[in-house]
Amino acid sequence: MTEIVEDRVTPVDAPGATVLEARDLRVWYATDRGPVRAVDGVTFELHEGEILGLVGESGCGKSTLGRGLIGLLPEGSARDGELRFRGKDMLKLKPREQHAMRGRDLGMIFQEPLTRLNPLMRISEHFSETLKTHDKSISKAEIERRSLEVLRVMGIPPTRFHAYPHEFSGGMRQRLMIALTLVLRPPFVVADEPTTALDVLVEAQIIRILHDLRANYRTALLLITHNLGIIAEACDRVAVMYAGEIVEIGDAREVFSRPKHPYTRELLRATISLRTTGLNYIDGAPPDLVEPPPGCHFHPRCPDAMKVCATRHPVLRQHDGGSTAQCWAADLADGLADDLTETERTPLPREEIAVADEA
């Protein structure tokens, strides 16, 4: 019986219509040192009712990508490439039109609910304000009906509708934030580290809610998290980000059981060892995104690096099992890199890696 319920809330085999489509999307920040290329040519699609997990070390561009998809970027940043929401290229819209889409079409769940909830406003007032921003003529009865419905989905009793934020626990406040995002029924939502500040029990509740959200609203969700356990539990697909690029993307189970990119493999190893044999880091740190290394950005840290990796940028290719990865070594292992010369295939000597690292 449990299995049937699980199947219903996890329609992995039934992706809906495409909601969001990014093609060669770039986001950069202007700085004194030159542009920080935080998102550097990202391509992916997201469908109705699908949860895509986004993982990678700190500073790889996950939050920038999430914010870039919503158009919530600070002064001095810019976007380029193609970004379609239900077929409409958002980068071609006027700022006013983009602004109108935020909240209504494109939702965002932030990390710290307390900083987003006004302590002087009742929960009912938060809902009223949110709904009125997008529909000035909405009736009081309709506000109440829609708010109570979404509170029910979030497991918050209707008796708490007129309470103040401080009367809720941390986990409940996070659910309130999610409810305030969902009450507008956005077809696409970015959730940036929604569980970081929460304990394990609350984390389990949030995962449950993410499943319910999909089942009830068919929301397409981009879930940014450091927690690979949450990805495994809650996501259909996973995208692995390194130095502004998606280096691997595919079915979550497939990527976790048969990672194609050495970075994915090392990231998984680092996480797994936290639970078993103690700390295990990936040597080195992600590169400076003003001047990332030539060729594959990961090559200075990669245990599988070959000579080609230091000079030629790898191409995103589909591999056995359906995942897509950009890695020369994975290409070679799967018979997809027949054009590489003998020299290009030789392992990259460590001293050359060190030089590339300093460059």
Ligand X SMILES: Nc1ncnc2c1ncn2[C@@H]1O[C@H](COP(=O)(O)OP(=O)(O)OP(=O)(O)O)[C@@H](O)[C@H]1O
Name the site residues for ligand X (rule: CB under 6 A). 29, 31, 36, 38, 56, 58-64, 74, 289
Cβ distance to ligand X smaller for residue 36 or 106:
36
The one-letter amino acid code at 158 reads P
Report whether 219 contacts 250 (CB < 8 A).
no
* SS3 state of residue 98: helix
Structure tokens, 330: 């994975």
Closest to 255 measured CA to CA, from 38, 49, 57, 52: 52
| Least distance (Å) between residue 324 CB and ligand X | 20
Cβ distance to ligand X smaller for residue 284 or 349:
284
Cβ distance to ligand X smaller for residue 61 or 165:
61
| Least distance (Å) between residue 61 CB and ligand X | 4
Cβ distance to ligand X smaller for residue 249 or 337:
249
Cβ distance to ligand X smaller for residue 62 or 173:
62
Whole-angstrom distance, CA of residue 351 vs CA of residue 28: 32
| Least distance (Å) between residue 28 CB and ligand X | 9
Structure tokens, 231: 């990805």
Give the gyration radius of the chain's Cα atoms: 22
| Least distance (Å) between residue 117 CB and ligand X | 22
Cβ distance to ligand X smaller for residue 7 or 291:
291
| Least distance (Å) between residue 44 CB and ligand X | 16
| Least distance (Å) between residue 63 CB and ligand X | 3
Cβ distance to ligand X smaller for residue 49 or 56:
56
Q: What share of the chain is helix, strand, coil (3-state, %, to 5)?
A: 40, 20, 40
Cβ distance to ligand X smaller for residue 18 or 77:
77
- Give the end-to-end CA distance of the chain in Å, rounded to a whole number: 58
Whole-angstrom distance, CA of residue 306 vs CA of residue 317: 18
Q: How many CA atoms lie within 13 A of 182 on its CB side?
A: 27
Q: How many helices (H) and strands (E) does the chain have?
A: 14, 12
Whole-angstrom distance, CA of residue 97 vs CA of residue 231: 33
| Least distance (Å) between residue 246 CB and ligand X | 12
* SS3 state of residue 44: strand
Q: Give 244's contacts (C-beta < 8 A, 6+ positions apart).
A: 37, 38, 39, 40, 41, 42, 60, 61, 289, 292, 297
Whole-angstrom distance, CA of residue 226 vs CA of residue 317: 25
Cβ distance to ligand X smaller for residue 38 or 305:
38
| Least distance (Å) between residue 309 CB and ligand X | 22
Angle, vertex CA 349, rays to CA 347 and CA 353, nearest 5 = 110
| Least distance (Å) between residue 43 CB and ligand X | 18
